Amino acid sequence: MFNQIKDLAGGEIYLITSLLMFMVFFVIVGVYLLKLNKKHIEVMSEIPLQENQPNVYEED
């Protein structure tokens, strides 16, 4: 398997590019999650548990 990777003849740029895109995406998501407002996370986590709002899909 590694011999196939070594003998790409110019195709290694695609491997490096895809790895860099993968890493950049997860670094951006990680930074976004670390900078996210903690109050917003708390409010969003309680949304499914709130009972005070009527559910339009439930029948009376």
**Total residues belonging to the chain:** 60
Give the per-residue pLDDT at 47.
82
CA atoms within 13 A on the CB side of 45: 6
Residue indicated by tokens 């969003």: 44
Do the beta carbons of residue 5 and residue 15 sit within 8 Å?
yes
Could you tell me the residue ranges of all domains in the chain? 9-46
pLDDT score recorded for residue 59: 58
pLDDT at 2: 64
28: tokens are 């951006």
Report pLDDT digits (tens) over 2-58: 666 666 667 778 888 899 999 999 999 999 999 988 898 888 888 877 666 665 555
pTM over 0.85: no
Quote the tokens at residue 60: 């009376």
Contact 8, 15 (CB under 8 A): yes
